[in-house]
Amino acid sequence: MSNPILKVENLHVNFNTYAGTVQAIRDVSFDLNQGETLAIVGESGSGKSVTTKTLMGLNAKNALIPDNSRLIFKDRNLLDLTESDWQSVRGNEIAMIFQDPMTSLDPTMKIGMQIAEPLIKHRNMKKEDALKRALELMKGVGIPDSEEHINDYPHQWSGGMRQRAVVAIALAADPEILIADEPTTALDVTIQAQILNLMKTLQKDTGSSIIFITHDLGVVAGMANRVAVMYAGKIVEYGTVDEIFFNPQHPYTWGLLNSMPTTDTQQGGLQAIPGTPPDLLEPPKGDAFASRNAYALAIDSKEEPPFFRVSDTHYAATWLLDERAPKVTPPVKIQKRWAHWREMQEQESQA
Amino acid sequence: MMDETPKKLVELKDLQLYFNQGKSNEVRAIDHVSFDIYEGEVFGLVGESGSGKTTIGRAILKLYEPTAGQILFDGQDVTHLKHKHLSEFRKDAQMIFQDPQASLNGRMKVRDIIAEGIDINKLAKNKAERDAKVQHLLDLVGLNKDHATRYPHEFSGGQRQRIGIARALAVDPKFIIADEPISALDVSIQAQVVNLMKELQTEHSLTYLFIAHDLSMVKYISDRIGVMHWGKLLEIGTADAVYNHPLHPYTKSLLSAIPVPDPEVESMRQHIEYDASIETDGKERQMVEINPGHFVLATPEEVSVYKNQQK
């Protein structure tokens, strides 16, 4: 069934700063399966971007990763790679699409050449051949009149077209894993819709696996096969996209789902999560979300919850799932999602 | 929701604002835009980047000089206010900016940032009264009194935006322009700030112009909504009418692009592409009322098409 191409095991990332050690990633484990899209959701400071930077070997020099952390890709631990080893992985086997297409493109280099660069470097292609392939890639990502624009510079293009170029660069070397870090956050919704469609189509064609980092649950619902919710440097819940949206178990996931309005949300229907995320210089004892959690139990402030199994694919780290925990009634909108989940289950069992 | 004859607080009449006027790189940032904002309502303005929505907000507060047209505030012409009259007007009309990091002076204490409007308009007789006012404002936005002596960098993004809101409220304005007030904030904090703005609006009977590109949030907070594209206002109506019965093809395209946090809905969503050529065909278009209170920019032929769609 599942065929993990990448296994992340017990990942810890600490940063030494003048103020002390920031524990940015605190024991994160997940698998990425062949051909799937895994969305990592969370707010700033939750560790989602540090996770992806670690996967690309791009962390700042003050990052400390303990020896028991493992990133297994093709039978090797990426954390053991030297910088020169990384050069053959990055942009080749694992590629990244960054958030802001203006800052991730080189303003002094022609776009065609930027797309051809990974081919020249990783595939030892001649310049002419690489540029020919770059032209095909530009057509593939839907850049109109590609022949005329291959020698353009980034500033001559709009934000949406630039992000298409970034996608083309990432796909150039036909990577097995594509990491997209908020790839559409800087774009308008109409352009966002185009880029997301493009990524879906390309994934179907190439069969690559995508790790999609975002805070927009709407985008997650449309793109992901599986979802991992991160909070304060940990994964607090993961499952299939249906399980996370219709059968969420962690109060933080409830809070996220309730604090985003849809176009149907009535006045007064928006429930904010109170407070702010904890400071990871000194992570709180127990469940890091407890102080913002209306459903917190006494044990939450003493002991960190382990992962409780909801289904074979769905786990959540909340004491509410412990058999000794009192039964709580989630917010009304979550109850509606649960009711829908039960209907889905019934239909499935009848089928 | 509103009285039968709501009072107009802000009126834009055929407003135009061109940058580089007459040159080859002329930009029509606001191109013959007219609309009213009623007292006590939240008017949402949506559109893509470059649509002119921010420029409109800034033009109303006189941060830009309009090329032509008129802006009325509370019945008074404020289009060309200067000096003393301008600062009096700005006491009534305030702004909350997008990036609370950039819009708060990092070298000033929060107390002085909030009290700056009080000082300029001489709203406090003495230091005690000034401190009491700052205290009250901090309370209103959910900060506490220790915060008064701190500097902006000591706060999180959401708290900084609360300071921005307190500063806007300090002069007891009637009208607040909020230009993307939450787009720099985290999801879980966005809802806090929006709920706070909504509460304050009710308590202080404020009128808002809420400018944003997050279409779901605009729908949530607004009574009426205007849709802009390329400097033109294309459609205007109640939030329900615009979102549930959009008329203009651009509005339809924009709405179809909003991602919905529901995997089943998402798997069916089709993005409607917009053909912008209907804006550049050179035909004369006017705002026409298709349904009561629901206007769209259209030619007479298009009007009959829109009316037929309604049946």
Pick from A26, A25, A39, A41: nearest CA to A256:
A41
pLDDT score for B144: 82
CB pairs under 8 A between A and B: 121
Residues 6+ apart with CB under 8 A from A124: none
pLDDT of residue A99: 81
In percent, the amount of chain A with pLDDT more than 70 equals 99
Please compute the mean of the pLDDT values over residues A157-169 and round it to a whole number.
88
Task: For domain A1-93+175-263+272-350, give the CATH number.
Answer: 3.40.50.300
Mean pLDDT of A276-293: 88
Mean pLDDT along residues A238-260: 94
Residue A334 half-sphere exposure, CB side, CA atoms within 13 Å? 20
Question: What string of H, E and C letters represents the secondary structure of A228-286?
Answer: EEEECCEEEEEEEHHHHHHCCCCHHHHHHHHHCCCCCCCCCCCCCCCCCCCCCCCCCCC
3-state helix, strand, coil in chain B (%, to 5): 40, 25, 35
Say yes or no: ipTM exceeds 0.95: no
Q: How confident is the model at residue A42, as a pLDDT?
A: 87
Tokens of A264: 């149907």
Cβ-based contacts of B263 with chain A (< 8 Å) = 221-222, 241-242, 245-246
Structure-token pair, residue A95: 């590629």
Count the helices and strands in chain A (H runs, E runs). 12, 13
Q: Is the pLDDT of residue A1 over 70?
A: no
Q: What is the pTM of this model?
A: 0.87
Q: Which residues of chain B have pLDDT under 70?
A: 1-4, 311
User: A13 near A25, Cβ under 8 Å?
Assistant: yes
* Dist CA A319 CA A252 (whole Å): 13
Given a cut of 90, whether residue A47 has pLDDT beyond it is no
- Is A242 within 8 Å of B263 when comparing Cβ atoms? yes
Please list every residue in chain A whose beta carbon sits closer than 8 Å to the beta carbon of residue B41. Answer: none
SS3 A161: helix
Q: For position A308, what pLDDT does the model report?
A: 96
The runs of H, that is alpha helices, within chain B are: 53-60, 83-92, 100-103, 110-120, 127-140, 157-169, 187-203, 215-221, 239-244, 249-256, 263-268, 300-310
Which of A276, A292, A343, A344 to mutate against chain B (most B CBs within 10 Å)? Answer: A276
What whole-number distance in Å separates Cα of residue A143 and Cα of residue A150?
10
Contact A259 B220 (CB under 8 A): no
Q: What is the pLDDT of residue A2?
A: 64
**Residue of A191, A259, A265, A279 best to disrupt the B interface, most CBs of B under 10 A:** A259
> Does the CA dihedral B135-B105-B48-B235 come out positive or negative?
positive
Hey, of A189, A215, A279, A280, which one would you mutate to test binding to chain B, going by the most B CBs within 10 A of its CB?
A189
